[in-house]
Amino acid sequence: MLMLGERAEHLNNCKIGEILTKRYTVAIFLVTTFIVNRGEAQMPKKSIDEKIDDILIELTLEEKVDMCHAQSKFSSPGVPRLGIPEIWMSDGPHGVRAEIKWDSWGHAGWTSDSITAFPALTALAATFNPELSKAYGKALGEEARYRKKDILLGPGVNIYRTPLNGRNFEYMGEDPFLASTMVVPYIQGVQENGVAACLKHFALNNQETWRGHISVEASDRALHEIYLPAFKAGVQEGNVWSVMGAYNQFRGQHTTHHALLNNEILKGKWGFDGVLVSDWGSTHDTREAARNGLDIEMGTHTDGLSSTVKNAYDYYYLANPLLEQVKSGEIDEALIDDKVRRILRLMLRTNMNQNRPLGRMNNPQHLEVARKVGGEGIVLLKNKGDFFPIDPRKEITIAVIGDNATRSMTVGGGSSELKARKEVSPLEGLQERFKHATILHSLGYKSGAPVYGMETESNLDADSLQDVAVELAGKADVVLFIGGLNKNHSQDCEGADRMNMALPYDQDELLKKILRVNRNVGVILISGNAVETPWLSKVKGLMQAWYLGSEAGHAIADVVSGDVNPSGKLPFSFPVKLEDNAAHHFGEQSYPGDGVSQTYKEDILVGYRWHDTKNVKPRFAFGYGLSYTTFRLAKVKTDQKTYSAGEQITLSCKLSNTGERDGSEVIQVYVGKLNSKVERAEKELKAFQKVAIEAGKSDVVELSIGIDDLVFYDESISDWKFEKGDYLIHVGTASNKIVKKLKINIQ
C-alpha cells in the first residue's frame, strides 16, 4: 500500500525497461501510448473502451475489488504492478480542502496546501450568471489539478427545501432550472483541467437532521420535477465524470445503493458512464452496493489502521466481503468488471490522460474570479433613501458592529472547510476602501470562539458586549451591522440543522438597542440561509452577503462603496416566518420527520412555487434583488401566439437603464399552464438572462424556451407528458415582480 506523499504519478515514475520485461499486454500498451503522446512514434489510436478492454484482461479479481474501495481517507488504490495509479479525491465544492492525514481526520500539516476560497455555491447561484459559473469551475479545477487531485467532491445541487438545512450554503437554491443552468458550466470548467467533478448528494439529501438513516417519502412527480433535474443536467449536459451518493434513504432503501436511483435512472435512463462514489460512511450492505450501482466505497465506519482490524479498509463492504461473495458465486464478477470499467474510464480522463494541463495554484487571477463572484452574488434587499452606496470620499464615522465582521468563514462548516492563503474580512475590506472615514469596530456579540485582534472584548459577557456596541453606535454617523449566521454547529454547518430561523446570539435584541441610539443603520447578513428579520422596517439598508471566501471583505466593500453595482438575485425565498415555508407548513412529519421517515407533503410546490400558488407572501421572493440604478422592461412579445410540440418560443423585450449608474438586470421568464388537468405551480422559471447596460442606454434582449421543456411528469405512465392548451408566460425581474403576462396556445 502506498503511503501519503508516495502517490504514483503513473508512467512518469516508471522505468520503461522494467515495464517491458513484465511482458504484460497492458503495460506494453500504456508505454506505447505514453510515447505516442509525445510524438516519438506513430501508432493507431485506440478508443477509450478498447484501452479499458486491454487493461481489464490483465487484472486479477483481487486487484479489481481493491480498486472499488478506499485505501485512505481520500484515496483509492491503483495497481502498482501495471502502473495504474491511485485515485486521489478532495473536498469540496468551493475550494480544495487542506490535506488530511492518511488514516484520521487530522490535518496533515502541509505548508503547500493553502488555496483560494471561492464564494459558497449559494453566492454563485445568486449571480444568475452561467458564464461566471464557468470561470469559477475553471479556476477551482486548476487548483485541484495543481494539488494532484483526480476527483473534486462537488458541486452540490440538492434543492433548498427548508431554511433550516445546515448544508444549504453548499447548494444552488430552490429552483431546479436555476440549479441546472448554473451547474453545467461549473462542471465543464472543472473538468477542462482533467479533474473529475463529483455531483452530489444523489439524491433527496435535503436536511442534516437524521441524515444517516431518515427515509424520504416523495412522489415520483416531486422526484423528477424538483429533486432530479439538476443532477440530470449535470450528467447529460455537463457530462460529469463522477457522482456522489447520499446518506439518507428513499422509500426505505439507502440512496448510495438504490436500485431505482442508481441503476434505472442514473446509469440507465440518463446513460451516466462515470463513477458513483459513496459519501463517507453512506454504504451499508455488500450485496446491495454491488448490485445497485456503487463503484467506489469511501469512509465506511473507519479511521483506517489506528483502530481494530475490523475497521480497516480491507473490511469495507466492497472489499473482502465483496471478494468472498464473488468467489462463492453470490455476486457475478461481471458486476465488478462494470465498476472497474467505470473507474478506468475516469482514470483515462484524469490521471491516465497524458494530455491534461498542469493546473495552477492560488494566484491573482483566481482571487479576481472569487471577488467578481462575490460582487455579483451579493443581493441588495432594502435601500431606503439610498442608504447604499456609502461614498468612500466622505469624512464620516462608521461603526462596524458584529462578530461576523472579523470572523473567519472559510474554516468550519464541516467537510467544506478551507485553508485559505488569505481571507480578507469584511472589516479589513471596509478599512482598506474607506480611508477617509473613521471606522470603529465592536463585536456586539460573540459566538463562543476567540476573535483575533479583539482579545479585550472577547473576555466580556454578552450584556457588556452589547453595551459597548450600543455606545459606539451612538457616536457614529453610520452603523453597518455585520451579522447573520456562521459555520458553527447547528448553523450553516454539516451534521446538524438549525434549531429555528432566528438570528443567534441575541442579534435581534442588539439591533433593537442600536436602533434606539442611531437610525442610520444598514445590515449586512452573512449566511447561506434565510433568517427572520423582525427589525426590517426600522433599518435603512439590508444586504445578503453569503460566505464569500478569500475575497469576502473586498467584495463587500466593492458593493458598499458603489464600486460594484449590486446585481445578485435571491436563489431561494425568504419566508416571513418558518411556518410559511412549504416543508414546515405541513408539520413535523414533513420536516424533520419522526426519526424513521418523513413525507414531502408539499410535493412539487417547493419555494416560490408554494408562495405563488398558495398565495403565501414571502418576506423576500425568489429572484428578487435591487440595484443602485433603475431599469424599465418594455415591449415584451413572443414571435407568435400559437406553437406546436418541438418548437421554440422566442421572446423579445426592451430593457432600459433609466438611472445614472451602469448596472445589470436579470430578466426572468416563468411559464404556467392554464386550466391544467393536474396540479401545477402557478408558474415555473424556464429562462433567464443577465444583461449589463450602461446608464441611459437600452438593449433588445431575446430569450427562448423549448416547448418540450413545458412537460410534467405523469405518474400514470411513469414518463414525461405534454399538455396541450393555453399557457401564460410571466416576464419580470423576480418571481413576484412580473412586468408582463402573455397568453400563448400550444397545439
Mark out the alpha helices in 411-550 (DSSP H runs): 426-433, 455-458, 462-475, 507-517
Other CB atoms within 10 A of residue 232 CB = 18
- The crossing angle, in degrees rounded to 10, of helices 364-377 and 130-146 is 150
Instruction: Say whether 660 sits in a helix, a strand or coil.
Output: coil
Residue 283 has pLDDT above 80, yes or no: yes
For 662-720, write each residue's pLDDT tens digit: 999 999 999 999 999 999 999 999 999 999 999 999 999 999 999 999 999 999 999 99
CA distances from 202 to 94, 479, 732 (A): 18, 44, 32
User: CA-to-CA distance for 205 and 211, rounded, in angstroms?
Assistant: 7
Q: How far apart are CA 314 and CA 421, in angstroms?
A: 36
Whole-angstrom Cα distance, residue 275 to residue 149?
Answer: 15
What's the confidence (pLDDT) of residue 312? 86
pLDDT digits 0-9 by tens, 260-275? 999 999 999 999 999 9
Quote the CA–CA distance of 448 and 610 in Å, as a whole number: 37
- The whole-angstrom separation of Cα 329 and Cα 7 is 34
AA identity, residue 68: C
Task: Read off the pLDDT band of 449 (50, 70, 90).
Answer: low
pTM greater than 0.95: no
pLDDT at 456: 60
- Sketch out the chain's domains with CATH numbers: 379-565 (3.40.50.1700), 629-746 (2.60.40.10)
391 is catalytic: no
Select the more confidently predicted residue: 92 or 367.
Answer: 367
In this prediction, residues 601-612 reach a mean pLDDT of 98
Q: Is 637 left (phi over 0), alpha (psi -120 to 50) or beta?
A: beta
The pLDDT mean for the chain works out to: 92
Q: Which of 491, 481, 482, 483 is nearest to 412 (CA)?
A: 491
Whether the pLDDT of residue 15 is over 70: the answer is no
3-class secondary-structure state, position 271: coil
Helix axis angle, 507-517 relative to 462-475, nearest 10°?
Answer: 30
* pLDDT confidence tier of residue 67, bands split at 50, 70 and 90: very high
pLDDT of residue 274: 98
3-state SS string over 104-121?
CCCECCCCCCCECCCCCH
Instruction: Note the pLDDT of residue 214.
Output: 98
Query: Residue 2 — very low, low, confident or very high, per pLDDT cuts 50/70/90?
Result: very low
Task: Please pick, among 54, 279, 492, 558, the residue that the annotation labels catalytic.
Answer: 279
Q: Which residue did the predictor score with more confidence, 73 or 10?
A: 73
Distance CA 416, CA 90 (A): 10
pLDDT for 545-596, tens place per residue? Answer: 999 999 999 999 999 999 999 999 999 999 999 999 999 999 999 999 999 9
Calculate mean pLDDT across residues 73-78. 96
Grade residue 454 by pLDDT with cuts at 50, 70 and 90: low
Residue 423: left if φ>0, alpha if ψ -120 to 50, beta else—which one? Answer: beta
Q: What is the tens place of the pLDDT at every residue in 362-385?
A: 999 999 999 999 999 999 999 999
**Residue 301 exposure: Cα atoms within 13 Å on the Cβ side:** 13
Which pLDDT score, from 0 to 100, does residue 150 have?
Answer: 98
Q: Report the alpha-carbon distance of residue 284 to residue 197 in Å, rounded.
A: 24
The pair phi, psi for residue 83, each rounded to 5°, is 75, 20
Is the distance from CB of 133 to CB of 193 less than 8 angstroms? no
The amino acid occupying position 99 is: E
Percent above pLDDT 90 for the chain: 89
Q: pLDDT tens-digit profile of 26-59?
A: 443 443 343 334 333 344 678 999 999 999 999 9
Does residue 89 register a pLDDT over 70? yes
Lowest mean pLDDT among 150-154, 370-374, 434-438, 453-457: 453-457
- Least confident residue range of 35-49, 61-75, 192-206, 387-401: 35-49
Q: Is the pLDDT of residue 506 over 80?
A: yes
Is the pLDDT at 451 greater than 80, yes or no? no
Least confident of 301-315, 437-451, 459-473, 633-647: 301-315
Residue-wise over 93-115: b if at least 16 C-beta within 10 A, else e? Answer: bbbbbbbbbbbeeeeeeeeebbb
- Write down the pLDDT at residue 104: 86
Distance CA 442, CA 518 (A): 15
pLDDT given at position 8 = 37
Whole-angstrom distance, CA of residue 187 vs CA of residue 196: 8
Instruction: Please give the share of the chain, as a percent, with pLDDT higher than 70.
Output: 91
Quickly state the pLDDT bin for 3 (edges 50, 70, 90): very low
pLDDT tens digits for range 159-178: 999 999 999 999 999 999 99
- Answer whether 208's CB lies under 8 Å from 170's CB: no
